[in-house]
A = this chain, B = another copy of it.
Amino acid sequence: MAGTVVDERDDDELRILIQKVARRIRSNRAEGDVGDSQLSVLFYLDVRGALTPTELAALEHVTPPSMNRTVNGLEEAGLIVRERATDDARKVLVRLTPAGDRLLVETRRLRSVWFSDELANLTPTERAALEAARPALRKLAGG
C-alpha cells in the first residue's frame, strides 16, 4: 500500500518529465521551421509513401479534422499534394512534394541540433539507459 503510493508518484514524475522534455524540444524550433505535427506528417509520408488523411490521423492519434487542418497547412505551403484515389473516389492520397522532401531533411537537421547537444551532455551511463528505453518509448508512443 505504501508501495502503491510511491509507484503512483513515480509514474506521475515520469509522465511529467516526458511532457516537459517534449515541451523543451518544441520550444527549440528554428526560424522558418515547421510545427511538430506537420513535421511528423512529412516524416510518415517519407517513410511510408502516400497515405490518406484518415491513415495519417490514426498514425498520429488525432481526429480527422485535426489532421485535415495539418494537411491544409502543408498543402498551402506546397509541401504536400492531395490526389484523388483511383480505386475509391472518396479517398484522398497525401503525397510529399520535392519541396516537402527538401524541407523534411532540412528541418530534421535543424531540430536535431538542440536535442543532440542535450544528449551529448548526458553521461555515457545515462545515454545508454535512454537508448535501452527506446523500445518502451516506442510502445508508449503507440505505433
Contact = CB atoms under 8 A, between A and B. Distances in A.
Contact of A140 (B11, B118, B131): B118
A12 B43 CA distance: 10
Contacts of A138: 17
A140 B11 CA distance: 17
A137 B132 CA distance: 13
Contact of A16 (B43, B109, B119, B126): B43
Contact of A25 (B15, B36, B60, B111): B15
A119 B21 CA distance: 18
A142 B60 CA distance: 27
A122 interface: yes
A141 B21 contact: yes
A34 to B, nearest CB: 13
Interface string A2-38: 0000001011111111111111111100000000100
Interface string A104-143: 0000110110011011011000110111111111111110
